[in-house]
Structure 1
Amino acid sequence: MNILNKIKLVAVDVDVDGVLLTDTYSPAIKSFVEQYGGVYTPELERLVWGAPHIAGGHNMSLACKLPWSAQETIEAFFHHHSKYIETNPIVVVPGAEDFLRLLQEFNVRVTSYGGRTKEYVFDKYMSPLEKYFDKDKPYIDTNSIRPGIMEITREIFKLNFDEVLFVDDINRMAEVAKFYKTGFIGTPVTVYQKEQMQETGVKYIVSSVKEITRDMLIKTDRALTSGSHWS
């Protein structure tokens, strides 16, 4: 077994926008906003993507100048998304199992998190890969605690911030990880998110989890040990 000296937990985003599932969220947001006369911009993506659902609904309502409440807007979006995935189904991304198998080579626990319920995301799509995740806490629903880094790290797993590595596709998570000096590897699926992660100073940005290597994990662990991960 490979030994990581600092990292004790790897937390991987599992949602309808990635990291282990195909992104059906950002294209659905874009088409929803444009359908109702809004303009999809980097700032709007930032305000909607990864936000609590009610906040996302509020911001889309403002962007499209809709007469609906935040709740009505997010419900309309979820209906739009359900139609979108009828022709663009959610599936596990290529290389996901290889990545999870790689994590098993190390002395770490592995959990996942996302903004939907465990039943909607993890049980529905990840059950074939459940054996790779923590038995007691395989998935954390973060909708009400987003971004969730503090809660996952300190409250749920009782760890220090530099003992956790987050793998996520949203720059908002990178910003919070930087604030807490938590480990972070970015897997952005949009140009906007990649550009924003570069501005934030994320050292490791990959297009997919299949590009995360053993060496990358070891170097991240060493950087967290020395306190240089965000410097």
Structure 2
Amino acid sequence: MTISKYRSDMKRFVNFSHIVLWDEILGVVLAIIVFMSTIRILEVFATSKKVRNIVKVFEQCGKELFWYGTTFVYILLGFAFFGWFLFGPYLLSYMTIYKCLTTLCLPIIGKSTFTEIDENNPILAKIFFTFYIIAVVFFVLSIFLSILCASIDNVVGNKKEETHTDIIEYIMTKFTKMFNKSGNKGKDVNVPLVRKEYNRPKLYKLYDMANM
């Protein structure tokens, strides 16, 4: 309906806001479906030792990660409000708090957004971006890695031998043995003939016919 209005008169203003809203809802629904599918796949591979070790790591550091995540959200919201206050009236990417959060998450994954704020206000942009990189990218993410490394050390240190076998390793072992057997069918197997030596009993010397 909206596309037909646009095609009928391209100079006429057509509101696409509801289409954008439904597109964002679709993205959220797809993200939830992918997340649930990933959880189901992890349940399938739950018998693997590697997956069990990963689950144990997050079980041990779950409480620390919760409080760490709460602190990280507070820090990120503080920088988002500060960026919205400084650059919101001038830049589209800082116009709302949601857009500020989205823009501030980009440097965490390695994409810099410094150019647009530097062109607007060079002095405040350098101060804001420097404090954000030091506080979030270096300090906060280093704490996250230290929590994970400590939990990994505890899991590896407390690891005990498990009685049940790993299903995935069992299947892979059987699979490789099947191909090894099929590849060795046409090959000749050389069995070395080993002559066994037997020690004569001591009484044999008494009845040695050669000395008689």
TM range (shorter): under 0.3
More helix by proportion, 1 or 2?
A: 2
Greater RCO, CA 8 A, separation 6+? 1
Q: Which structure has more strand as a fraction of its residues?
A: 1
**TM-score scaled to structure 2, two decimals?**
0.23
TM-score by length of 1: 0.21
